[in-house]
């Protein structure tokens, strides 16, 4: 039996809350990247911080709470690129799931 | 620098772990592009397999572990360090469904060892984290372990052996049931001992281990060999009535706790 028939016969309802949680879990992982000897999350907070600094070489605390000296521009580029790519994928998949009943 | 995965698979009277390992190995080859070494025993080797593992290492298993459904041959995981032919090793449970290249990140995030300390249950977002006992540690998970061959990881696996061999003693100290040996519990204790009774943040994989719990069923959305889309169905009890609920997931790795369900998925 294919899954569409299975869902129809079981009169199963799509659980949007679980879908939302699952997507968050999936895409937050993709925001984590290793670069310049540290582990980073390409989140708005880190990107904003890097953007607000002016020096090229700065020390930033990574997700393991280790201070890491980084090339700010390079890290910012990597995090921005990751953020944009992952968030677009997240948005696309969420839009697909949002229509399910 | 060599990199690969290893799987332990010993058939029990109820489950064909070799078949599970073969299925998982194909997915590791496909999604992670890693060779796979199998640790097994001669009784589990089939006569008619077309799949060729990178290496097959035969060992004498310890069959002294009984669960409610029968013999569970899960001891000896500490041998992973000695038996792995790779400099960098990904050690997985055979019932881990690889659907993406996410696990390759484990080699980047850790210095020499990492495992999960937090889980998420699909369809049970608020499920509590497992602890060894009410007054003991939060459980670390042996489902996915990435390690490099260093002096420290050798110590971790030696500690794992020591905990396995003295499991009753540690169960007594930490107030958990010693009857069934759990690699997760042994790893929790071994890693802490090796780290001076603490857990280092760098030893933890920075995302959650996704479990499909025992009351949740997973169905493949297609019969493609490397299908990555699944429907997950769950019986939600509300006001004395069961309401069937589902989600669809794709490109996401998960650990299937229900072995019967895993066998259905690989059939």
| Domain ranges (residues) in chain A | 32-101
d(Cα B253, Cα B218) in Å, to the nearest integer? Answer: 12
**Tens digit of pLDDT for each residue in A44-99?**
999 999 999 999 999 999 998 899 999 999 999 999 999 999 999 999 999 988 87
What's the whole-number average pLDDT of chain A? 92
Domains of chain B: 3-210 (3.90.550), 212-266 (no CATH)
Residues of A with CB under 8 A from a CB of B: 3, 6-7, 10-15, 17-19, 21-22, 25-26, 28-30, 32, 34, 39, 63-66, 93, 97, 100
What pLDDT digit, counting tens, does each position of B169-199 carry?
A: 999 999 998 888 999 999 999 999 999 999 9
Q: Is the pLDDT assigned to residue B69 strictly greater than 70?
A: no
Whole-prediction pTM value? 0.93
DSSP string, chain A: --HHHHHHHHT-EE-HHHHHHHHHHHHHHHTEEEETTEEEE--HHHHHHHHH---SEEEEE-TTS-EEEEEHHHHHHHHHHHHHHHHHHHHHHHHHHHT--
Query: Smallest Cβ distance to B123: which of A15, A64, A93?
Result: A15
């Amino acid at each position: 039996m294919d899954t569409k028939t299975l869902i129809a016969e079981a009169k199963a309802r799509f659980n949007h809350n679980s879908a939302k949680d699952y997507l968050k879990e999936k895409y937050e992982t993709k925001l984590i990247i290793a670069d310049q000897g540290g582990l980073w999350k390409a989140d708005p907070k880190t990107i904003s911080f890097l953007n607000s600094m002016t020096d090229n070489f700065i020390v930033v605390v990574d997700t393991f709470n280790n201070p890491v000296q980084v090339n700010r521009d390079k890290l910012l580029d990597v995090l921005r690129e990751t953020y944009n790519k992952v968030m677009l994928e997240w948005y696309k998949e969420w839009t697909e799931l949002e229509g399910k009943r | 620098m060599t990199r690969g995965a290893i799987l332990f698979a010993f058939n029990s009277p109820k489950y064909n772990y070799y078949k599970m390992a073969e299925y998982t190995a194909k997915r590791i080859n496909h999604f992670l592009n890693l060779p796979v070494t199998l640790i097994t025993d001669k009784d589990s080797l089939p006569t008619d397999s077309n799949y060729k593992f990178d290496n097959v290492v035969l060992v004498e298993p310890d069959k002294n572990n009984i669960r409610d459904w029968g013999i569970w041959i899960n001891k000896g995981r500490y041998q992973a360090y000695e038996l792995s032919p790779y400099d960098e090793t990904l050690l997985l449970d055979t019932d881990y469904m690889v659907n993406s290249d996410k696990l390759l990140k484990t080699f980047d995030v850790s210095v020499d060892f990492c495992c999960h300390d937090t889980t998420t249950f699909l369809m049970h977002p608020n499920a509590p984290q497992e602890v060894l006992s009410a007054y003991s540690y939060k459980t670390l998970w042996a489902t996915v372990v990435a390690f490099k061959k260093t002096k420290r990881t050798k110590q971790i696996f030696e500690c794992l052996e020591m905990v396995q061999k003295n499991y009753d003693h540690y169960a007594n100290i930490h107030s958990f049931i010693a009857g069934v040996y759990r690699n997760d519990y042994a790893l929790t204790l071994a890693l802490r001992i090796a780290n001076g009774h603490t857990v280092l943040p760098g030893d933890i994989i920075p995302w959650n281990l996704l479990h499909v719990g025992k009351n949740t069923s997973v169905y493949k959305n297609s019969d493609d060999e490397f299908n990555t889309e699944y429907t997950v169905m769950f019986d939600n009890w509300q006001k004395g009535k069961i309401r069937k609920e589902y989600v669809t997931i794709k490109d996401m790795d998960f650990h299937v706790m229900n072995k019967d369900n895993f066998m259905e998925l690989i059939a």
